[in-house]
């Protein structure tokens, strides 16, 4: 017995009227036979998909025009709860009149939205959102069978939240760009974790390879590593407060970012030999390499440019001394 048949009381209010109607009176339930497909001049596709976690399964029938790849007829058989029946019926309806390539673009969100009575009110309770995911997956399987490819070829990215179809790369980018630290924040930004909640942490309705809590932990470790690197390099410190090693790293970074490429283009280079405090000044001793070592401007224009950039980026009291 499916979960829907056990639900009573006010929880029925969480289902749209369209869903309850389709549970009891699906419009596309049935099968397409080889004979019927031939009469339409179509190729028959029969695809099965099921989920072990809830025992639901769906069989999708397509009659596809091989000349245009158009889905002329679409029917289904569903083995499971009422929500699976309603989702599968809606999915079959959405496939009609589309090409196979267009049908693959139908998402579980499209199926769920098509079952809504009003645009802003979900058609099913969050814990039943996975039923429309099953409908989405059987479309991929049917398309793969028609095209003679693996169904995974239609999935270009790793999907973490199946309900909202949010990919791993999207979640990582959103977490980093917005410095997110909680699952609730991720859900607010992406809708991941808003429905069946299986993607939040282990122990949910569906087992996942990676969870939202894993991504938060990953990001926290990255921030800690970044903070450690910044501390080691002296980032955030005044030049005068840095250790000698931090000063050398800071100077080398400014040279790499602003000077070195220009020197290399002219056939030269430079290296930092030492940094010494001389009263209020920081004397940075450098050695020119390659063509720079014999260039007349190395002791005038080039030296002036190097010193000015280091003063601007690090400290006004820096002096650059070539050896």
Question: Hey, which residues are catalytic here?
Answer: 54, 131
Which 3 state secondary structure label does DSSP give 145?
helix
Evaluate whether 86 touches 28 at the Cβ level (below 8 Å): no
Parallel/antiparallel/unpaired status of strands 57-65 and 318-322: unpaired
Measured torsion, CA atoms of residues 294, 295, 299, 305, in degrees rounded to the nearest 10: -140
CB-count exposure of residue 255 (10 Å: 0-12, 13-18, 19+): buried
Query: What is the distance between the alpha carbons of residues 175 and 213, in angstroms, rounded to a whole number?
Result: 11
**How far is CA 83 from its chain centroid?**
28
Tell me the chain's radius of gyration from C-alpha atoms.
32
- From 105, 99, 107, 109, select the one nearest 74 (Cα to Cα): 99
Secondary structure in 3-state letters for 66-116? CCCCEEEEEEEEEECCHHHHHHHHHHHHHHCCCEHHHHHCCCHHHHHHHCC
Evaluate whether 164 touches 195 at the Cβ level (below 8 Å): yes
Query: Which residues, in sequence order, are CB contacts of 141 under 8 Å at separation 6+?
Result: 47, 48, 49, 60, 151
């Amino acid at each position: 017995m499916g979960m829907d048949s056990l639900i009573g009381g006010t929880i029925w209010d969480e289902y749209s009227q369209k869903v309850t109607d389709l549970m009891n009176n699906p419009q596309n339930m049935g099968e397409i036979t080889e004979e019927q497909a031939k009469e339409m001049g179509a190729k028959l596709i029969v695809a099965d998909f099921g989920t072990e976690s809830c025992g639901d399964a769906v069989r999708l029938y397509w009659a596809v025009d091989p000349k245009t790849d158009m889905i002329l007829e679409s029917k289904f058989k569903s083995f499971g709860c009422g929500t699976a029946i309603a989702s599968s019926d809606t999915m079959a309806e959405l496939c009609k009149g589309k090409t196979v390539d267009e049908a693959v673009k139908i998402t579980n969100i499209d199926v769920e939205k098509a079952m809504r009575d009003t645009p802003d009110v979900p058609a099913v309770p969050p814990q039943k959102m996975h039923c429309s995911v099953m409908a989405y997956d059987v479309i991929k399987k049917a398309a793969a069978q028609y095209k003679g490819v693996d169904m995974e070829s239609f999935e270009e990215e790793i999907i973490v939240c199946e309900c909202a179809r949010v990919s791993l790369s999207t979640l990582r980018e959103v977490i980093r760009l917005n410095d997110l630290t909680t699952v609730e924040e991720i859900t607010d930004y992406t809708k991941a974790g808003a429905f069946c909640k299986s993607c939040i942490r282990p122990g949910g309705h569906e087992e996942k390879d990676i969870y939202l809590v894993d991504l938060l932990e990953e990001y926290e470790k990255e921030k800690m590593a970044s903070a450690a690197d910044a501390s080691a390099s002296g980032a955030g410190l005044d030049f005068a407060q840095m250790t000698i090693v931090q000063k050398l790293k800071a100077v080398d970074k400014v040279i790499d970012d602003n000077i070195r490429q220009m020197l290399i283009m002219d056939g030269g280079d430079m290296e930092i030999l030492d940094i010494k405090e001389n009263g209020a000044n920081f004397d940075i001793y450098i050695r020119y390499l390659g063509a720079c070592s014999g260039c007349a401007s190395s002791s005038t224009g080039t030296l002036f440019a190097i010193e000015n950039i280091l003063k601007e980026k690090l400290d006004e009291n820096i002096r650059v001394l070539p050896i």
